[in-house]
Structure 1
């Protein structure tokens, strides 16, 4: 029996689909069961509950061998470290009490709790799980391609996109699908033990200048990359409803990208991964062209 949290999330939905395809018995822990796709709901045992509820998570984990655990993304926290801590601490206690053998988490950075941006709180999460003695694999992510969906209004109306990096700086891009598949591979493998951070194979390592070229080809119009400062990026995020604290954290994340703390921007492209062009065709182009896109 496998327990999968956030089965409707960017990565979790790919994990649960991989587990179902592998013929595993799956228990899905979800805040709102009505959001589960019917094809998933019909193949899993559903536990509805809050991930911050230690007792609920422990009950869901009872009798399971391995757990996929992901802290839900939110743009609203007023204290980013406390937000991650409020999930990690009860989860570590719950899964230890349930005698789970293996845990696979979604993380980021290089496992240093002192890192700035979200990487520090995620590293602290890793430490909470490691302190339990449970075998763990922390899947450390680079920059989600899905984050480009937040540039849809600028792409649609201004034919441009902006990030607080230089045009020629290579970023490790990866699709949520690859992140989910990497996590699922570890979740489905019962042969490992110990505690490690593992990287995600990514479609390509590329600069924003080259990203603009790909977007131009996919969208059929010239797209320009316009660099902005970290403070400008933070203000842009806050206009979309992101809290000041989270805006500051994401500003710091890009500083970490520049100093090499997030992702492996120099690694070789993973041949089996989702390329930026393929992702943009499947996800970005429909969002830019749809008048009903929630990003518009």
Structure 2
């Protein structure tokens, strides 16, 4: 079995690579800069330097692949949805040209809306394009990554995280490692076909105050969630150096999932994963503070 993995140094991709290695698979990893791979990992994988938005390069790199873990690379430009369209064209062309048997696509809760959820709309576009292809694909509709807190270390140190979701709105929080486990299970199993949607909700739905209380207890640092206006968040993102277009796409991921949004897939035994925010915050976040 030949398995290709994109974003192999990402929050989920690095775990996918490690799990495949432990399963006895030597994965093909597609990375913009293979030099960023850990030296020990680099020796165990087949690494190819590829820009995922370069359709021809992706098609060439995935020739002979049986299963593909695809993550649309994050955008840093002013038109994120245009970047997502380029990545979508790459994966669709690769699956079609190379007859890839199974694709696991890292999507997000909210992609089921199709429109109106900021950057998540780009993931929805990839889902729709793979569906139109008639590919055997599992869309992983993931909850809010624990690791997003690593992007807010200064706010955590200061004791207040600004949010634009209602403070009483709960959302699924999930460990990237658990997403990888679900992805690898699908990649290595040949006992499924057609279009599947698999939500990955983590162990619990949490409001921001609940998440802040959990993180505070795990790290020993006082932390609260502070509701701010959309404009205030926009100003914070601009001050961090984010372009106007990207800031709107990021804000849209929250504004598009408020006002009564409910994920298409409910929390069940299949959609619930084990790693708690408390355990992750103690093991990962606490040492980073």
Common topology (TM > 0.5): yes
> CA, structure 1 residues 63+265, in 2 after alignment: closer, same or farther (shift >3 Å)?
closer
Q: CA RMSD in A?
A: 2.1
Structure 1: state its 5+ residue gaps: 289-296
Task: Give the structure 1 partner of residue 190 of structure 2.
Answer: 190
Q: What is the number of equivalent residue pairs in this alignment?
A: 286
Cα distance in 2 for residues equivalent to 1:186 and 1:268: 18
Shift of 1:192: 0.9
Helix, strand or coil: the match of 2:222? coil
Trace 1:77-96 onto structure 2 (pairs within 5 A): 77-96=77-96
**Is the 2:112–2:264 contact (alpha carbons within 8 Å) kept by the matching residues of 1?**
no
Q: Determine if the alignment matches structure 1 residue 25 to structure 2 residue 19.
A: no
Task: Give the structure 2 partner of residue 175 of structure 1.
Answer: 175
Shift of 1:272: 4.7
Trace 1:158-173 onto structure 2 (pairs within 5 A): 158-173=158-173
Cα distance in 1 for residues equivalent to 2:188 and 2:276: 25
> CA, structure 1 residues 202+81, in 2 after alignment: closer, same or farther (shift >3 Å)?
same
> CA, structure 1 residues 103+260, in 2 after alignment: closer, same or farther (shift >3 Å)?
farther
Shift of 1:264: 7.1
TM-score (norm: length of structure 2): 0.91
Trace 1:203-242 onto structure 2 (pairs within 5 A): 203-242=203-242
TM-score (norm: length of structure 1): 0.89
Task: Give the structure 2 partner of residue 99 of structure 1.
Answer: 99
Cα distance in 2 for residues equivalent to 1:56 and 1:262: 38
Helix, strand or coil: the match of 2:257? helix
Shift of 1:120: 1.7
Helix, strand or coil: the match of 1:162? strand
Trace 1:1-296 onto structure 2 (pairs within 5 A): 1-74=2-75, 76-108=76-108, 109-156=110-157, 158-259=158-259, 261=261, 263=263, 267=267, 272-288=273-289
Helix, strand or coil: the match of 2:56? helix
Q: List per-residue Cα deviations over 1:75-121 (Å, max 9, x = no partner).
A: x2211211100111122112210111111111122434323212222
Task: Give the structure 2 partner of residue 294 of structure 1.
Answer: none
**Is the 1:112–1:119 contact (alpha carbons within 8 Å) kept by the matching residues of 2?**
no
Shift of 1:39: 2.5
Cα distance in 2 for residues equivalent to 1:259 and 1:185: 34
Q: List per-residue Cα deviations over 1:265-289 (Å, max 9, x = no partner).
A: 973687752111111112221222x
**Is the 1:111–1:122 contact (alpha carbons within 8 Å) kept by the matching residues of 2?**
no
Task: Give the structure 2 partner of residue 291 of structure 1.
Answer: none
Helix, strand or coil: the match of 2:59? helix
